[in-house]
Amino acid sequence: MKTFLACLFILAICVTLSNAYCFMEPLTAGKPGEEILGCIDPKGKIRQFGSQWRTENCLDCSCGEDGTRCCSSYATPVDFDGEKCERIFHKQTCSYQVVEKADHTKECPVSAWVG
């Protein structure tokens, strides 16, 4: 029984750690045969190798020798009283706030976050 609980605990930690939304874009040259000088972001701007930036969609990106890696910079609340409360996304800070539907000045407790 102890072994089963230990395995369940480890699995729960692994699931929690693997919830981040990430993706990888491989390096590509602008034109065939052209030297690759960095990563090209979604707006077409060339980013230097080793650089990091945050997109307007709240993704934290970095440019490496293998390409561009981007991950969500925020966690999403998933376990709260949905009848009494609602989540509000603040794009300026790339974060969620969970507040009472009737009074947005009162925050609600959140038991679990994903991302």
Report which of 48, 71, 53, 24 is spatially closest to residue 39, judged by C-alpha positions: 48
Please provide the average confidence, as pLDDT, over all residues in the chain: 84
For residue 75 the two structure tokens come to: 């966690």
Reply yes or no on domain 76-114 having CATH 2.20.25.590.
yes
This prediction has a pTM of 0.67
What are the residue ranges spanned by the domains of the chain? Answer: 19-72, 76-114
* Exposure on the CB side of residue 58, measured as CA atoms within 13 A: 16
Instruction: Quote the percentage of the chain above a pLDDT of 90.
Output: 66
Q: Count the Cβ atoms, other than its own, within 10 Å of residue 40.
A: 19
pLDDT digits (tens, 9 = 90+) for 33-75: 778 889 988 788 999 999 999 999 999 999 999 999 999 999 9
- Cβ partners under 8 Å of residue 7, min gap 6: none
CATH number, domain 19-72, options 3.40.50.180, 2.10.70.10, 3.60.21.10, 3.10.20.600: 2.10.70.10
